[in-house]
């Protein structure tokens, strides 16, 4: 069994802090295949940081400077 810590981020800052504080942390979001990679022994996350509920990441927008 693979043990891991699950964190549901309440803000982008929380998510970034969780990822940068542990080099074996991965984001968990819609469309990611982290579970498949884990199942095939290609990754071994200790922490999964769920960003599905972050509304600021719900869409893609073009910025005035093109970014």
Task: Read off the pLDDT of residues 20-33 as tens digits, 9 standing for 90 and up.
Answer: 999 999 999 886 78
What CATH code would you report for 5-55? 3.30.43.10
Where in the chain are the domains?
Answer: 5-55
Calculate what percentage of the chain has a pLDDT beyond 90: 55
Provide the mean pLDDT of the chain: 89
The residue-averaged pLDDT of 57-67 equals 84
Q: pTM for the complete prediction?
A: 0.79
DSSP string, 7-39: EE-SSHHHHHHHHHT-TTEEEE-TT--HHHHHH
Token duo for residue 24: 């074996």
Residue with tokens 């800052």: 13
């Amino acid at each position: 069994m693979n043990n891991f810590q699950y964190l549901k981020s309440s803000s982008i800052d929380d998510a970034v802090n969780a990822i940068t504080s542990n080099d074996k942390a991965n984001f968990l979001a819609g469309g990611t295949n982290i579970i498949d990679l884990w199942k095939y022994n290609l990754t071994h996350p200790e922490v999964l940081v769920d960003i599905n509920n972050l509304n600021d990441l719900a869409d893609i927008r073009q910025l005035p400077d093109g970014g």
